[in-house]
């Protein structure tokens, strides 16, 4: 029986993880959950999975949750950042699913590592912002970081049992998002609802916008650098509209290995939870005849310049990826609030990157400072655009 903590239990990954757990109750037990403000869903999760402790984002939400639960429901409720750390380091957990969206996932993931917990990592920002620190601390604590992101899970599976010196490069695949075949002119007019219609994957809003701009792939390139200890130049991206090949690796002799499957996050989530074992699921099997063809295209980085910005930040290293990520988070939320256009995203992020003096080998404090700085600067630039 694996004891599991989920950070971000009411988000897209959290919900899928709980679904995997519910269908495999003989294998897993939920011990702790952390959510934000979705008290209704968290209440249902508490009643079904009976965690010992939970955390919500504020004291107000904690009070609401206590009120919503029946008096006989035994669960300890924590709140705010301290509460989140409490949940992340809850002693009886074997593995922590890090699935909080955005940069808010960094500190609790670090707390889980400090507490010696294996990490099922769905929060790519943890690696983008502090990959060097996170990997060092995980190594020191003997903690395993198992990727949940479908591309990284694919690479992780392809690399299993292989000699690293035989690896030439890895290739991350990207669906290309809803605007793959749009012209630059058409991109100027895309709406929020069009952007939120991902062709293959069902995900949260932020990551869906990032998928449409290819920033998600850019963040994944940086995530892969740290997860697999690679140079940015050894990580390529291919557009693969069918989202069947989740990613691939190439060996020095030209042999490729790819991992395929239907696009359903429950597969990489279950693998991260059961690694190195696998479990049966009730998902449909991949029907390649029905799919018919698998296409691969070179990404158009002129049209989707977020990917180029992420490569540039990844190559620069230091705090540049922190700033890239923070600027993107602020800009994407402004886009979701319909304050800016889709095509403003890369322009804003580029401006912030140019303004930033990157610090090499940043401390955690440097990282948090750079994150804060980029948020303030990005908000200012957005204000200037909209007024
Ligand atoms: Mg992904």
- 386 C-alpha to center of ligand 1: Å? 31
pLDDT at 203: 81
Whole-number Å distance between alpha carbons of 88 and 101: 15
- How many alpha carbons lie under 13 Å from residue 134 in its C-beta half-sphere? 32
Q: Residue 135 burial by CB count (10 A; 0-12/13-18/19+): exposed, middle or buried? A: middle
Output the CA 46–ligand 1 centroid distance in Å: 28
Ligand 1 is an ion; its neighbours by CB within 5 Å are 149-151
Taken as a whole, the chain contains a residue count of: 387
What are phi and psi for residue 3, nearest 5 degrees?
-95, 130
The Cα–Cα gap between 351 and 346 comes to 9
Q: Any idea which residue has 């395929």 for tokens?
A: 260
Query: Tokens representing 240?
Result: 């693969």
What is the C-alpha separation between 385 and 281, in angstroms, rounded? Answer: 49
How remote is the CA of residue 331 from the centroid of ligand 1, in Å?
20
Q: Cα(304)–Cα(300) distance, rounded to whole angstroms? A: 6
Angstrom distance (rounded) from CA 155 to CA 126: 18
Q: Which residues of 185-204 are buried (b: 16+ CB within 10 A; e: fewer)?
A: eebeebeeeebbebebbebb
Dist CA 149 CA 173 (whole Å) = 12
Distance 219 CA to ligand 1 centre (A): 9
- Distances 51 to 25, 54, 77, 316 between C-alpha atoms, Å: 13, 7, 10, 43
Residue 201 pLDDT: 79
Please give the Cα distance from 180 to 192 (Å, whole number): 16
* Angle between helices 39-49 and 12-22 in degrees, nearest 10: 20
For residue 170, report the distance from its CA to the centre of ligand 1, in Å: 14
Handedness of CA 61, 64, 70, 74 (dihedral sign): positive
* Ligand 1 center to 208 CA (angstroms): 10
What's the pLDDT at 387? 84
Q: Are 33 and 52 in contact (CB under 8 A)?
A: no
From ligand 1's centre to the CA of 173, what distance in Å?
9
Task: Give me the residues paired with residue 56 across strands.
Answer: 79
What letter would DSSP give residue 286?
P
For 6, 134, 297, 373, the CA distances from 114, given in Å and listed in that order, are 16, 10, 41, 27
Res 386: pLDDT: 87
pLDDT at position 204 is: 86
Structure tokens given for 315: 């190559």
> What are the b/e assignments for 318-344, b being 16+ CB within 10 Å?
bbbbbbbbbbbbbbbbbbbeeebbbbb
Distance 150 CA to ligand 1 centre (A): 5
Phi-psi region of 322 (alpha: psi -120 to 50; beta: other; left: phi over 0): alpha
Question: Which domains are assigned to the chain?
Answer: 2-147 (3.40.50.720)
**How many angstroms separate the alpha carbon of residue 60 from the centre of ligand 1?**
33
Say how many Å lie between the CA of residue 383 and the centre of ligand 1: 31
C-alpha span between 132 and 123 (Å, rounded): 15
Q: How far is ligand 1, taken at its centre, from the CA of residue 48, in Å? A: 29
Q: What distance in angstroms lies between residue 71's CA and the mean position of ligand 1's atoms? A: 41
CA distance 28 to 87: 17
**Which positions ≥6 away from 324 have C-beta within 8 Å?**
128, 218, 219, 309, 310, 313, 349, 353
* Ligand 1 center–CA 349 separation, angstroms: 21
Q: Are 367 and 322 in contact (CB under 8 A)?
A: yes
Burial of residue 263 (CB within 10 Å: 0-12, 13-18, 19+) is: middle
Distance (angstroms) between ligand 1 centre and the Cα of 11 equals 15
Percentages helix, strand, coil for the chain (3-state, rounded to 5) are 50, 15, 35
Can you read off the two tokens belonging to residue 314?
């990844």
CB 215 within 8 A of CB 307: yes
Q: What is the mean pLDDT of each run of 10 residues along the chain (387 residues)?
A: 97 97 97 96 98 97 96 94 97 97 95 98 97 98 98 98 97 97 96 92 89 98 98 98 98 98 97 96 97 98 98 98 98 97 98 97 98 98 92
Q: What is the pLDDT of residue 326?
A: 98
Residue of 109, 112, 90, 91 lying closest to 99 (CA atoms): 109
């Amino acid at each position: 029986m694996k004891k599991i903590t989920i950070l971000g239990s009411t988000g897209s990954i959290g919900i899928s993880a709980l679904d995997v757990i519910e269908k495999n109750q003989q294998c897993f037990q939920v011990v702790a959950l952390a959510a934000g403000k979705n008290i209704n869903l968290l209440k249902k999760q508490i009643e079904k999975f009976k965690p010992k402790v939970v955390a919500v984002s504020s004291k107000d939400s904690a009070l609401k949750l206590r009120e919503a639960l029946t008096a006989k429901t035994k669960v300890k409720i924590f709140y705010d950042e301290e509460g989140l750390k409490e949940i992340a380091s809850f002693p009886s957990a074997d593995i922590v699913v890090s699935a909080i969206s955005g940069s808010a996932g960094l500190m609790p993931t670090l707390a889980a590592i400090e507490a010696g917990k294996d990490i099922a990592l769905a929060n790519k920002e943890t690696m983008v912002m502090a990959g060097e620190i996170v990997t060092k601390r995980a190594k020191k604590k003997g903690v395993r970081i198992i990727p949940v992101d479908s591309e990284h899970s694919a690479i992780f599976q392809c690399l299993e049992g292989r000699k690293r010196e035989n690896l030439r490069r890895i290739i991350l695949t990207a669906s290309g998002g809803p605007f793959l075949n749009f012209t630059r002119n058409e991109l100027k007019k895309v709406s929020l609802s069009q952007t939120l219609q991902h062709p293959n994957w069902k995900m949260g809003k932020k990551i869906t916008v990032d998928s449409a701009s290819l920033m998600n792939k850019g963040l994944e390139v940086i995530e892969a650098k740290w997860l697999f200890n690679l140079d940015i130049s050894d990580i390529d991206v291919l557009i693969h509209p069918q989202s069947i090949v989740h990613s691939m690796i190439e060996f020095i002799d030209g042999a490729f290995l790819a991992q395929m499957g239907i696009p359903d996050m429950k597969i990489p989530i279950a693998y991260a939870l059961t690694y190195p074992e696998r479990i049966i699921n009730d998902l449909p099997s991949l029907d390649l005849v029905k799919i018919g063809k698998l296409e691969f295209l070179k990404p158009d980085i002129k049209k989707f310049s977020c990917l180029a910005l992420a490569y540039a930040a990844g190559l620069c290293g230091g705090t540049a990826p922190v700033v890239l990520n923070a600027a993107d988070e602020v800009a994407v939320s402004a886009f979701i609030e319909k304050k800016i256009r889709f095509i403003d995203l890369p322009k804003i992020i580029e401006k912030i990157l140019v303004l930033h003096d990157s610090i090499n080998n940043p401390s955690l404090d440097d990282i948090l400072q750079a994150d804060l700085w980029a948020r303030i600067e990005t908000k200012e630039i957005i204000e200037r655009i909209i007024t």
